[in-house]
Amino acid sequence: MIWTAGFRTGVISPHETIKLTEPFEFADQTVRQVLYLAGGGERIRVRLTNLYGRAPVKIANPRVAAKGVETPLHLDGADEFTIEPGQEVVLDAADVRVAPGAELVLSFYLPEPTGLATYSHRPMETAYVAEGDHVSAPTLPGAKAVEARFFVSGVDVLVPEGTAVAVAFGDSWFEGVGSTTGANRRSVDVLNRRLARGWVVNQGIAGNRLLTDEIGERALARFDRDVLAIPAVTHVLVNFGINDLGLPGMIGEPPATPAALIEGFTSLAERAHDAKLRIIAATIGPFAGVIYPGISTPEGLAARREVNEWIRATDVFDAVFDVARAVENPEDPDFIRPDLDGGDGMHLNDAGAAAMAGAVDLETLVL
């Protein structure tokens, strides 16, 4: 038996130069969060993080509920502990058997001021925050609903050796922005439901770039932590580029050049192959109809087309899944097809996420 990732979430610093969502901090509050597992196993280990925090975070009475059964969690046997700034902790293994697609409900109490929280800012899932210590309450009294995920980075599961695990390493098109909140209809969720064996853990971060730190560390910087450090990983799917081409325009900067993006993708492929992983790349999706000012520019759209032709023709990847062609408007391929558009011209709705998942040839994920 081995430990591997049953759930992962890309996390970002609350101290970002571009704020897509409001940062949060806590004191004397209970936080309850639903964690949707890509894969199941015989036991679990929950990972809590203060990676980008600037103050110690005290955690009290953590516990998970699965199928209505609560299980207390501990760190080195203690039910109260502190995570120092820049650190992550792996809680003691717990006898909780979970299946792929199961939902774990994680609750903990934050008795002291935390400072700004390390978090996942667009997980398409809701966290619930209540004043005071109500970890054991079936329903949190007066809870505030927040679309974010706080202080949690993953759940490990104990599985038989030889279990195949892939990482979906990318941006909002993996994290699921545009899909229905709480419905688990992200492209990665749909892909997992197509698989007969193994699973894909989701390390998408909305707004993340291949080349530049902004919303989370750039892909080239977080590759070791978010891909290579996943136990038993065999494959990596990459989906980047749209934010390198679009987000600079929001602050009056030019988009990344095709040459820079190609160099970045090539570097990812080389690092994956050095680690004996198969790497499968997505083409960059259309964004001509985006409603946010400054993102869609003639230069960025031209660069997208050039990079996509390179992705389709290159042999640096083990395989390609052509997301752009799967979701583009055939009458104007720089735009998302209207029935697949999440409403902002840049993200996919549930049907679009399913089309993205359908672009992956399952044979490319076979060992």
Please give the model's pTM, rounded to 2 decimal places.
0.96
pLDDT at 81: 98
Whether residue 107 is predicted with pLDDT greater than 70 in this model: the reply is yes
Whether residue 17 is predicted with pLDDT greater than 60 in this model: the reply is no
Question: Of the candidates 97, 125, 155, which is a domain's last residue?
Answer: 155
- 201 plus 319 within the same structural domain: yes
Least confident of 9-23, 98-112, 128-142, 273-287: 9-23
Are the C-beta atoms of residues 247 and 18 closer than 8 Å to each other? yes
- 147 plus 236 within the same structural domain: no
Question: Of the candidates 155, 181, 206, which is a domain's last residue?
Answer: 155
**Cα separation of 228 and 257, whole Å?**
27
What are 154-196's pLDDT values in tens digits? 999 999 998 989 999 999 999 999 999 999 999 999 999 999 9
pLDDT band at residue 18 using 50, 70 and 90 as cut-offs: low
CA–chain centroid gap for 251, Å, is 25
- 55 plus 192 within the same structural domain: no
More confident residue, 20 or 215: 215
- 240 plus 351 within the same structural domain: yes
Tokens of 122: 């667009």
Arithmetic mean of pLDDT, 320-329: 98
Give the three-class secondary structure for 145: strand
Domain count of the fold of the chain: 2
- 103 plus 138 within the same structural domain: yes
pLDDT band at residue 367 using 50, 70 and 90 as cut-offs: low
- 192 CB-contact burial (10 Å; exposed 0-12 / middle 13-18 / buried 19+): buried
- 223 plus 357 within the same structural domain: yes
Q: What is the CATH number of the domain that holds 205?
A: 3.40.50.1110
What are 237-262's pLDDT values in tens digits? 999 999 999 999 988 899 999 999 99
**Cα separation of 74 and 21, whole Å?**
31
Q: If we measure between CA atoms, which residue out of 211, 198, 60 comes closest to residue 134?
A: 60
**Cα separation of 208 and 247, whole Å?**
10
Whether residue 263 is predicted with pLDDT greater than 90 in this model: the reply is yes
What are 75-89's pLDDT values in tens digits? 999 999 999 999 999
- 290 plus 183 within the same structural domain: yes
Question: Of the candidates 155, 188, 219, which is a domain's last residue?
Answer: 155
- 120 plus 87 within the same structural domain: yes
Q: If we measure between CA atoms, which residue out of 36, 35, 29 comes closest to residue 59?
A: 29
- 131 plus 175 within the same structural domain: no
- 238 plus 326 within the same structural domain: yes
- 331 plus 263 within the same structural domain: yes
Domain range for residue 249?
164-365
- 45 plus 174 within the same structural domain: no
